[in-house]
Amino acid sequence: MKRKASSILARPSPYHSSVTLYEATEEATTVRRSKRIKSELGSSTVPLENEQTIEAARPSTSIEATPKKAPRAKLVKVFKMDEESASSSTPSTTEPPKRKRATASPRKPKPIPTALETPHPAPARWQETYDTIKRMRAQIVAPVDTMGCDQAQLKETDPKNQRFSTLVSLMLSSQTKDEVTDAAVTKLRDAVGGSLSVDAILQADESAIADAICKVGFWRRKTE
């Protein structure tokens, strides 16, 4: 694109003495005939008639003015944006109401089988193996024979206290040897008054129970 040589007029700034303002004179402006430029809408073109291009020059370089964008393309784009924002902000009245999902009915618990339909076959020669272990065991006295959980009931006379003492002994035997369990049950019986009963345990102090069974495993939880 050919242009005429620009003439620049320099003058001092009225606001600051060290600033020089440069202005292009009338000879720097040219009038071009109409041409067609592409708009922002796509491949369509918009004619622009008598478009004026003005050169603004600096002291050392000159800047070519870019052609103005088509105003029609801007208006159409803004109008489309307004339509989209209006459609997104205002809900459509023609849409059918959403149906609520039906709540799922509670599942019925599956019955737990208490017996096998087909019993497992008995191991081969199990009776012979059991009798052999029983004969071997009869010659050895283990701690469970004299200090097992079933031995706690032998020191009680009331049948209800016998059942309760067996229950207490079983609770204390978890993660504990039989010798330690039997000693803890004996010490607990003495701490609550000589007999293991529900009333005696309820009336006993928690610290007394803890001191009696502190040798068993997880004695804090078992005290509670």
Radius of gyration of the chain (CA): 52
Please indicate whether residue 106 or residue 27 has the higher confidence score (pLDDT).
106
pLDDT of residue 188: 96
Query: What is the chain's mean pLDDT, rounded?
Result: 76
* Domain-ending residue, one of 19, 49, 71: 71
pLDDT of residue 9: 81
pLDDT of residue 95: 63
Percent of the chain with pLDDT over 90: 46
- The answer to whether position 2 is within a domain reads no
Token digits of residue 165: 């003492």
* Domain-ending residue, one of 31, 46, 71: 71
Q: What is the dihedral of CA 148, 150, 153, 159, to 10 degrees?
A: 170
User: Model's pTM, two decimal places?
Assistant: 0.44
* Domain-ending residue, one of 71, 91, 118: 71
Q: Quote the number of domains for the chain.
A: 2
21, β-bridge pairs: 11
- The answer to whether position 108 is within a domain reads no
pLDDT of residue 109: 86
- The answer to whether position 97 is within a domain reads no
Query: 59-113, pLDDT tens digit by residue?
Result: 444 444 445 555 554 444 444 455 555 555 555 556 666 676 667 678 888 888 8
The tokens 């109008």 sit on which residue?
79
Range of 37's domain? 8-71
- Tell me the mean pLDDT in the region 140-165: 93
- The answer to whether position 81 is within a domain reads no
What type of residue is 120? Answer: H
- Tell me the mean pLDDT in the region 134-159: 92
Query: 166-194, pLDDT tens digit by residue?
Result: 999 999 999 999 999 999 999 999 999 99
